[in-house]
Amino acid sequence: MLVKYKSDYKKIAMGLLSFIPGLKDVNRLEAEISWYQDDDSRVLYLWRNENGDFSGIVGVEVSDEIVVIRQIALSPSERSQIAYNQVLDEVAHQYPDCKMMGSLDVASIIAKWEHQNESKHE
C-alpha cells in the first residue's frame, strides 16, 4: 500500500532513501525530501508490505499525461521484481490516466514491469 509522505515519516523516509546510491549523507537526504515537498507535481510515497511494515519508497513527478518514477528503493529483504512490480502496480493505480516512465536509474525496473504486464494481457 502506498502512503503519501508526511513529516511524521521523515526518519523512515530518510532510512529508505539511504538505500539509493549517492543518498547516504543526512544533508543530502534532507535536501532530497525538501525537493519533493517544494513542488506539488512531485510526490514521495512510502510503501507498506503485506505485513504493514514500511519497506519501500518511491518518488514520482506527475504531469498531465506522464508519471515519471524518479526513484524507487526497497529494503534489502524486499528487493525482488515481485515487490517492485507491486509498488509500480500501486503507482499505476494512483495515476490510471498517465503513462509511466522512469529516470535512467529506474528504467530497467519499469521495463521489466511493463514486460510482465504485457504478458498478463496476451
Backbone angles phi, psi at 15, to 5 degrees: -65, -45
Instruction: Please give the single-letter amino acid code of residue 72.
Output: I
At 119 the pLDDT is 72
Alpha helix segments (H runs only) across 3-49 = 10-17, 26-37
Residue-wise pLDDT for 64-87, tens only, equals: 899 999 999 999 999 999 999 999
120 has pLDDT over 70: no
Report domain extents, the chain. 2-119
122 has pLDDT over 70: no
Residue with cell 509498488: 87
**Which pLDDT band, with edges at 50, 70 and 90, does 22 fall under?**
confident
According to CATH, what is the number of the domain 2-119? 3.40.630.30
